[in-house]
Amino acid sequence: MNIFELLKKDHVKVKQILQDMCETTSRAIKKRQNLLQQLIAELQMHEKIEERVFYPPLKNNNTTRQLTLEAYEEHHAVDDLVKKLAKLEPSDERWLAVLTVIKENLHHHIEEEENRLFLKAQEEIGEQELNSMVQSAQAMKRQEARA
């Protein structure tokens, strides 16, 4: 598995959680709370990997710098929205509206990452560094699983 496959696998998982959340009703309070916790855990781990392992060398590369800076900002925007969602009661009529905005933001972020940033990263980063990235990411996931 390479770093791109690992990150794409995370993207699939996050998209599925978002879809599951969107299919809930305001009466599914416990399910919404559980899915929100799953989403938060997945996003935290994924962002940690991207921001500590994947993005730093891309931020220092002229070809990928701007896309990487945008990706950081998209993470922050989604984090703020997730915090807003977590403060709402799952039965609140605004809950689904905020979730929809989160979903739209994440889908945009994922599409831009997979279709632009990953392609440029493959051109700009050497095979050895890419291998090192996936090893670091897998180690972080293993450590998180033990915690």
pLDDT at residue 146 greater than cutoff 90: no
Note the pLDDT of residue 30: 97
pLDDT, tens digit, for every residue of 42-67?
Answer: 999 999 999 999 999 999 999 999 99
CATH architecture of 3-146: Up-down Bundle (1.20)
CA-closest candidate to residue 50, choices 1, 81, 10, 108:
10
- Locate the domains of the chain by residue range: 3-146
Beta-carbon-side half-sphere exposure of residue 96 (alpha carbons within 13 Å):
12
pLDDT at 3: 96
**Overall pTM surpassing 0.85 (yes/no):** yes
Phi-psi region of 25 (alpha: psi -120 to 50; beta: other; left: phi over 0): beta
**Model pLDDT, residue 145:** 85
Smallest Cα–Cα separation from 58: which of 112, 97, 20? 112
Is 47 in contact with 68 (CB distance < 8 Å)? no
Report pLDDT digits (tens) over 87-139: 999 999 999 999 999 999 999 999 999 999 999 999 999 999 999 999 999 99
